[in-house]
Structure 1
Amino acid sequence: MRKKKIGTTVIAISLLLALLAGCTGSSEPAEPASTPKAGEDTAAEAKKEISVSILDRGEVAAEEGSYENNRWTRWINDNAPAKVNWIPVPRTQVQQKLNTLIASGSAPDLIWEYDRSYISQLAAQGAIQPVDGYIEKYSTTYKAYLEKHPELKPFLTINGKMYALASARGQETVANHGIMIRQDWLDKLGLKAPTTVEELLDVARKFKEGDPDGNGSADTVPITFNYNGVQILRAFFFNNENQWYLEDGRLSFGRILDRYTDSLALQKQLFDEGLIDKEYITDTNFQRSLQLWTTGKSGIYLGSWTMGAEFVDLKKNVPDAKVVPLEPVASSYGRNGLYQEVPANMYIAFNASMKEDKAKAAIQFLDWMLEAGWEPLRIGEPDVHYKLVGEVPQKTDADLFRKEVFYAREYAILNEWDPKPEWFSLMAAQDPISQEQAKLKADGLVTAMKNNYRRDIAYNPDLPEVSQLIATFAPIAQQIEAKIVTGGGALSPQEGMADMRKEWKRLGGENVEMLVQEWYESNKQNLK
């Protein structure tokens, strides 16, 4: 974060945000900063309109409005050089939704995703266009930013041309997955934090049988998780089903490696012993899993390194709960880190149908976002959502921030947010729960970055044949995996893996592996 920037823009942001009608805590969404009279010729009316995708995580409170229309979308349109229409796409179905919009010709002008492979796929399909020329012709801020961050260029370049813009991740967003454990449960049962897969299994069994919640019933579900959970189990075995790994100088797909078989065996063991929720496969939105954690019925949560609502709601339900981050446990392959992101953050692509006048407006909007727009979207309004302590923004009211600001973070599609662990206690509100949460967050970030996550190449092969194969193979593999895990003795992990490899081969996997190896040999200088 540009700390000096915050200090010098506090007054300006205060004046701008003060224009928002609609009081904090009002039952109605805040009104736009200005409401022109009919027919009035205003600068806002002269702005070029662009549309931008935004991830719908279900976080906008009813009082705030919607992802399309809330205090922050109006603030953006009052202050940005373009008028932005935000197009929500469900977080858990983002690519499917964008594909549908693209196929119908109704996709937004700016399409963004965290997945570079998806952006590469859109480039191969002709759904997006190169942005090099627009940056050179119309950008000032982002052009200078790229010169300071040359590490971004390989991630943004496809077949020699830049197809996306992105800002560099701060440490807080390089870290992603994390494990949390109930320290009070460990203490009650006289257990130490597990350091190996075997110890994790032993602790989970004790959590199941030892009545750690003290209600006299063996009704706990030791391990719960959100959408990160299964990948965390994979990471123990140095595997991610969607990554490619260098094995003896050749690239191999994670989902068909022997290490993946081992991860399935662990997943099956957890299921068979009742150490994870028996309904987790049908709990597609993970609400049941979340409820088990927040009501104090689970002792280990596989999710992100930072806990937001999951922690606050747990403390409301179980005030004496003590949560600490858990370092990833070691398997027979050693200790891997949990998933960490590459340097490039959101990949922002331009719809192929967007004309130059809109592209110019989009570049001007992105320059503004990187220069001035992102900070309020991350920290809120001064003297309402935060105050400065030195040069660190401290939340004044955690609940208010959570309601009015937290959902706005991804509107800042280019940003320089990079808080350090030691900031967290200063940034947080000063009430006991917020301070406890801030310490957990600081410890969680340090723990998440303690071990390097295995990533043999910087990004996956951006070949259409690869994307097509994986898209076809994934649902077949998922069905086999579900049978392995939940089918009792019907299909062993080894038998299931043999079936998956047959399907991979049937779908042309061997030919794709040959293309991938050729791609690697041609691009290895950019993949370190």
Structure 2
Amino acid sequence: MLKRQHMALLLAASLGTITACSSSGTDSSGDTAKKDSGTEKKKLEVSVSILDRGQVASDEGTYENNRTTKYINEKSGINVKWVPILRTESTKKLNTLIAAGEAPDLMWEFNRDYMSTLKEQGAIQPIDDYIEKYSTSYKNYLKAHPELKPYTQFDGKTYIATSARGIDSIANHAIWIRQDWLDKLGLKTPQTMDELVNVMRAFKDKDPDGNGKNDTLGAAFNFNYTGIIQAMYAAHGGLWYLENDKLVKGNFTDRYTDVLAQLKLFFDEGLIDKEYITDKNYQKERSLLVTGKAGVYFSSWNIAPEYRELKQNVPDSKLVPLEPVATKYGKFGLYQEPPANRLIVFNKNMKNPEAAVKLLDWWIDKNWFDVRFGQEGVHYKLVNGVPQAIDAEKNKKETLYAPEYAVLDQWSPKPEDFPVMAAQDPISQEYAKVQGESLKVAMKNKFRRDIPYNPTFPELAETSTSFGPVAEDIETKVITGGSQYTAQWGMEQLRKEWKRLGGDNVDKLAQQWYEKNLKGK
């Protein structure tokens, strides 16, 4: 965890500030031609993927070109071309770009399984030699963080660059609930899934907002919705579990039947908006929360923009973090990330690996701080080494999207830092206290992760790729298709299709992989 004093030293070392316009002697992209013995030395160039979460305001520019991208180009000495990838379709888009030969030099995601697939497809390359030849800061960082090594290698070679997650980045999924609605309806905080369902029914049927209309819902959500339900049943579809020392894919455990049944119940009873299937970017779901029409929010532990909008629209609302509820299988934490943060890979067709490694060095050395937080005196001031926001509304527009561009960083705040970091307006200070509590709640219950990372081998990658769309169709039928498509039917179909696609052999190879790589270690 980054020490406050060290943070201050890092920031003091970064004398440059973020500006939306170019400095003297640069063109509009911040490119400065350097002269070497009377000749001009061309600036290093590299292209990098960036997750498009729809957070760049129109007057800030685009994900390709904004104040943060200009700052990176100007201060790093490298021309970086950003390639936006829609967050909800990230791997699909990357696959399309790779197939077309148009993928960026540096690609990143959070899923090691996906990177393994790219490795098996020959789309990426080992980077050991590049790090040894071109790196200083990142090479030293890796030596100081040996715990990251298992997440970066395949077959004994390094394919992935990464940095360690801070606690705020290990925490991920969360549930929020309208405490004021609980109080008004005389309801207790739900502790079990049955209690949560009854609370959601009350939120839907008993007019908790008091407007005399039947216009409220039990819950709204973002893209973490199904993962949250899966985690509470310890049946995460993207993970493998150990059942009597045998590896079983999450969506083939018996517990997954209950996941499907739960999602179906929420839909059938209208406890959620039934049109969510077509709400690809979850903007309608978000609107239900911020306009005060949803009592539970299945989402992320940090929802600062949504919280602010809800308070502006419904000043008397009281949104608080809710611990995961127990099921008949016990109580499990919601999804928490492994220690490795963004997983960065090098395109096999990369033309300039030196530029890529120099950019990694620039990020990890000290510059991630300025990328992440903006300009001192404009976006924040330092208080005991902690960046304190000056104007929340200004930052919402100008720096909300910026942390995504700090592809490597060393940020790890503590819950007590949030009130210091927040702007001093009442809503910001109110949320800062709630945010600290939300981080504690998110980390309070251990997320069930039986093995540190999933098995990786070609047959698994191939079968999973074919199985994914089939499974999605089956599960959509179960959830939305009425009584004829039961959860039990869905499980039978999932297992049948997995077997048809070669799943029995994959399960056998997965067990062999576990016994070779992880068992007894």
For Structure 1 versus Structure 2, the TM-score category normalised by the shorter chain is over 0.9
Q: How does 1:126-141 map to 2 (within 5 A)?
A: 126-141=122-137
Q: How does 1:456-467 map to 2 (within 5 A)?
A: 456-467=450-461
CA contact (8 A) 1:211 1:218 kept: yes
User: Which is worse superposed, 3-12 or 508-517?
Assistant: 3-12
Which of 283, 286, 297 is the aligned partner of 2:282?
286
CA deviation after TM superposition for structure 1 residue 82, in Å: 2.1
CA contact (8 A) 2:162 2:340 kept: yes
Indicate the residue corresponding to 2:9 in structure 1: 8
Give a deviation string over 1:133-172, Cα, whole Å, max 9, x none.
Answer: 1112221111111111111000001011000110000000
Which of 248, 257, 274 is the aligned partner of 1:261?
257
Indicate the residue corresponding to 1:337 in structure 2: 333
CA deviation after TM superposition for structure 1 residue 442, in Å: 0.5
Q: Which amino acid aligns with 1:451?
A: N
Indicate the residue corresponding to 1:432 in structure 2: 426
CA contact (8 A) 1:241 1:255 kept: yes
User: Which is worse superposed, 70-79 or 162-171?
Assistant: 70-79
Q: Distance in 1 between matches of 2:289 and 2:80?
A: 38
Give a deviation string over 1:91-111, Cα, whole Å, max 9, x none.
Answer: 111111111111111111111
Q: Distance in 1 between matches of 2:223 and 2:261?
A: 19
Q: Distance in 2 between matches of 1:513 and 1:6?
A: 47
Q: Distance in 2 between matches of 1:83 and 1:198?
A: 55
Give a deviation string over 1:366-406, Cα, whole Å, max 9, x none.
Answer: 11110122001222111111111111111011111111112
Which of 376, 379, 385 is the aligned partner of 2:379?
385
Give % identity: 53
- In the alignment, structure 1 residue 64 sits paired with structure 2 residue 54: no
Q: Which amino acid aligns with 1:17?
A: T
Structure 2: segments with no counterpart, 5+ residues: none
Indicate the residue corresponding to 2:163 in structure 1: 167
Which of 510, 518, 521 is the aligned partner of 2:512?
518
Q: Distance in 2 between matches of 1:306 and 1:499?
A: 37
CA contact (8 A) 1:473 1:507 kept: yes
Q: Distance in 2 between matches of 1:471 and 1:401?
A: 40
Indicate the residue corresponding to 2:202 in structure 1: 206
CA deviation after TM superposition for structure 1 residue 2, in Å: 4.7
Give a deviation string over 1:236-292, Cα, whole Å, max 9, x none.
Answer: 111111111111111111112110001111111111211111112222221111111
Q: Distance in 2 between matches of 1:41 and 1:274?
A: 61
Q: Distance in 2 between matches of 1:136 and 1:187?
A: 60
CA deviation after TM superposition for structure 1 residue 211, in Å: 0.8
CA contact (8 A) 1:10 1:382 kept: no
- In the alignment, structure 1 residue 79 sits paired with structure 2 residue 75: yes
Q: Distance in 1 between matches of 2:333 and 2:80?
A: 39
Q: Distance in 1 between matches of 2:350 and 2:469?
A: 33
User: Which is worse superposed, 460-469 or 122-131?
Assistant: 460-469
Structure 1: segments with no counterpart, 5+ residues: 21-29
Indicate the residue corresponding to 1:481 in structure 2: 475
Q: Give the secondary-structure state (helix, strand or coil) at the position aligned to 1:383.
A: coil
Indicate the residue corresponding to 1:24 in structure 2: none
Q: Give the secondary-structure state (helix, strand or coil) at the position aligned to 1:101.
A: helix
Structure 1 stretches of 4+ moved >6 Å? 37-40
Query: Residue 36 and residue 482 in structure 1: after superposition, are their counterparts in 2 closer, same or farther (change >3 A)?
Result: closer
- In the alignment, structure 1 residue 309 sits paired with structure 2 residue 326: no
For this pair of structures, how many residues does the alignment match?
Answer: 514
CA deviation after TM superposition for structure 1 residue 37, in Å: 7.1
CA contact (8 A) 1:33 1:74 kept: no
CA contact (8 A) 1:265 1:493 kept: yes
Q: Distance in 1 between matches of 2:328 and 2:41?
A: 63
Q: Distance in 1 between matches of 2:295 and 2:398?
A: 30
Q: Distance in 2 between matches of 1:430 and 1:242?
A: 41
Q: How does 1:407-446 map to 2 (within 5 A)?
A: 407-446=401-440
CA deviation after TM superposition for structure 1 residue 308, in Å: 2.0
CA contact (8 A) 1:81 1:364 kept: no
Give a deviation string over 1:418-447, Cα, whole Å, max 9, x none.
Answer: 011000001000111001111111111000
TM-score scaled by structure 2?
A: 0.95
Q: Distance in 2 between matches of 1:40 and 1:319?
A: 50
- In the alignment, structure 1 residue 471 sits paired with structure 2 residue 461: no
Q: Give the secondary-structure state (helix, strand or coil) at the position aligned to 1:406.
A: coil
CA deviation after TM superposition for structure 1 residue 456, in Å: 0.8
CA contact (8 A) 2:236 2:250 kept: yes
Q: Distance in 1 between matches of 2:412 and 2:314?
A: 32
CA deviation after TM superposition for structure 1 residue 34, in Å: 3.7
CA deviation after TM superposition for structure 1 residue 46, in Å: 2.9
Query: Residue 133 and residue 80 in structure 1: after superposition, are their counterparts in 2 closer, same or farther (change >3 A)?
Result: same
Indicate the residue corresponding to 2:363 in structure 1: 369
CA contact (8 A) 1:141 1:371 kept: yes
CA deviation after TM superposition for structure 1 residue 33, in Å: 2.7
Q: Give the secondary-structure state (helix, strand or coil) at the position aligned to 1:348.
A: strand
Q: Which amino acid aligns with 1:340?
A: Q
Q: Which amino acid aligns with 1:206?
A: A
Query: Residue 36 and residue 141 in structure 1: after superposition, are their counterparts in 2 closer, same or farther (change >3 A)?
Result: closer
- In the alignment, structure 1 residue 197 sits paired with structure 2 residue 193: yes
Give a deviation string over 1:186-220, Cα, whole Å, max 9, x none.
Answer: 11011111010011011111111211000012221
Q: Distance in 2 between matches of 1:92 and 1:481?
A: 18
CA deviation after TM superposition for structure 1 residue 132, in Å: 1.0
Query: Residue 6 and residue 34 in structure 1: after superposition, are their counterparts in 2 closer, same or farther (change >3 A)?
Result: farther
Q: Distance in 2 between matches of 1:69 and 1:37?
A: 14
Q: Distance in 2 between matches of 1:132 and 1:41?
A: 30
Q: Distance in 1 between matches of 2:518 and 2:198?
A: 42
